[in-house]
Amino acid sequence: MMPGRVQNTTAGRVRASVVVGVAVVLAVTAFAVQAPELASAAGRGCVIPGSDGPNAALTGIVNSYYPATAGAAAGSTAISVGARIPGASPPIASGDLLLVIQMQDADISGTNAVTYGDGATGRGSTGISSTGLYEYVAARNAVVAGTVNIAGTGGGGGLVNGYHFSTAVTATHGFRTFQVQRRRRPAFGALPVLLCLVVSALAISPSVESVAPAPITSMSASAPAIAADIPAGTELIGTTIVTESKPAPPVEESFHIAVGPITPSRLRIESIAVDAPIAGVGLGRDGSMSVPDNLWVSGWLSSSSRPGQTGTAVIAGHRGIGTPALFSHLENLRPGDRIHVSDASGGELVYEVTGVASLDLSVASQLQVFGPTAQMELVLITCIGRYSPSTSTYDHRLVVFSRLVPPNS
């Protein structure tokens, strides 16, 4: 097994589908997360990484795996599999996080001489082909009649990569096999499965263009009742008391082109009259992402990329629960608008909006839009839509995607 060997690119973008552990919800709950399982460079969509409940000590074989019984082409939304191993392990269920990985696929010289293996030195192989290729997908259903339907980030919402299967053995290769693993780990209570973002490599799919936001329902009609025991001039967002009044205006300062990544401290978006501080936010003891403690301050997820780094920097802001807030007009951004991010020394980076989307919380829409990137990108996010008291969240997320503008352009 060769974790990290990911290939296949689309429009210059590495498109392995690996799943994120940070779910962002502003103006309703704290940012909820699933604890990360992979390297921070992995892009993630939101699925259920084993819904088996708490398990204090994992022993033995903790993942169920299904050997493939036929090849699967890139773009496939169904995979043919055999019986799960171990037989008593939990079966795949709808929404589960699945790892698809090519286990055997190498070509080898079978000559009984020093050329055995790599064809020259008697070591290695002549070519590993797709061995070690992998991606993460979401199960759309349980295995039925030897087939599991999946949602991925490849063409048509299917697989990014093609996977090979053959039990034929020749003078140049052995079995070609891959498998589907149901990933199991301790569940994290009742954390909601929400619109997920990337820790350090998130981007919009090249196939996703500017999307008109879904109509915004009346906040006054759908907003929850405000708790009576919180101080006047504040709102309770999750477990955080958030101040409604604006902080002092940013000081006048001169800006210059930043060289290299920056730690962001100020956000300016002229087209929607945003000029606000950026506070670094992290993850709490319960795994949730902290929210800014003021409706007019944005929050940069400090475990995401820094602006100017490869990957995606994530900045979120409040919409407010029945009151104005920093990102109340984020939906008015359009492709071509500029976003300015600067650090405490005035070093500035400029991003250009490439797309705006109002997204539901379904697994399919999350996997369609989010994936890793080799670009330098910035995502702005806030809540939008109708508030549901039963789920304690709004039913959509407004996401603005942008890409770093080269200096002097």
Supply 406's token pair. 């080269």
pLDDT score for 310 = 87
Q: What is the percent of the chain with per-residue pLDDT over 70, rounded to a whole number?
A: 67
pLDDT score for 116 = 87
Looking at per-residue confidence, does 344 or 243 come out higher?
344
Exposed / middle / buried, residue 114 (Cβ in 10 Å: 0-12, 13-18, 19+): exposed
Mean pLDDT is lowest, of 109-118, 133-142, 329-338, 360-369, for: 360-369
Q: Where are the domains of the chain?
A: 47-192, 201-404
8 Å CB contact between 316 and 302:
no
Across the range 118-134, mean pLDDT stands at 88
- Distance separating alpha carbons of residues 45 and 37, to the nearest angstrom: 13
Q: Does the pLDDT value for residue 26 go beyond 80?
A: no
pLDDT tens per residue, range 42-83: 233 344 444 454 455 566 667 889 999 999 999 999 999 999
CA dihedral in degrees (6, 11, 13, 16; nearest 10)?
Answer: -40
Mean pLDDT is lowest, of 31-35, 83-87, 156-160, for: 31-35
Q: CB neighbours (10 Å) of residue 165?
A: 18
Looking at per-residue confidence, does 7 or 116 come out higher?
116
pLDDT score for 314 = 85
Across the range 394-398, mean pLDDT stands at 81
pLDDT tens per residue, range 268-303: 999 999 999 999 987 655 445 677 888 999 999 887
Instruction: Indicate the pLDDT class of residue 241, thresholds 50, 70 and 90.
Output: confident
Mean pLDDT is lowest, of 183-187, 341-345, 365-369, for: 183-187
Exposed / middle / buried, residue 250 (Cβ in 10 Å: 0-12, 13-18, 19+): middle
Across the range 370-375, mean pLDDT stands at 66
Q: Determine the residue type at 64.
A: S
Across the range 312-329, mean pLDDT stands at 85
- Distance separating alpha carbons of residues 295 and 328, to the nearest angstrom: 10
pLDDT score for 297 = 93
Across the range 136-162, mean pLDDT stands at 90
Instruction: Indicate the pLDDT class of residue 259, thresholds 50, 70 and 90.
Output: confident
Instruction: Indicate the pLDDT class of residue 207, thresholds 50, 70 and 90.
Output: very low
Q: What fold is seen in the domain 201-404? A: Sortase; Chain: A; (2.40.260)
pLDDT score for 22 = 32
Q: Does the pLDDT value for residue 381 go beyond 60?
A: yes
Instruction: Indicate the pLDDT class of residue 202, thresholds 50, 70 and 90.
Output: very low
- Of the CA atoms within 13 Å of residue 164, those in its CB half-sphere come to 18
Q: Does the pLDDT value for residue 29 go beyond 60?
A: no
pLDDT score for 285 = 56
Cα–Cα distances in angstroms (integers) from residue 31 to residues 47, 289, 320, in the given order = 16, 4, 15
pLDDT score for 371 = 54
Supply 239's token pair. 């477990």
Instruction: Indicate the pLDDT class of residue 366, thresholds 50, 70 and 90.
Output: low
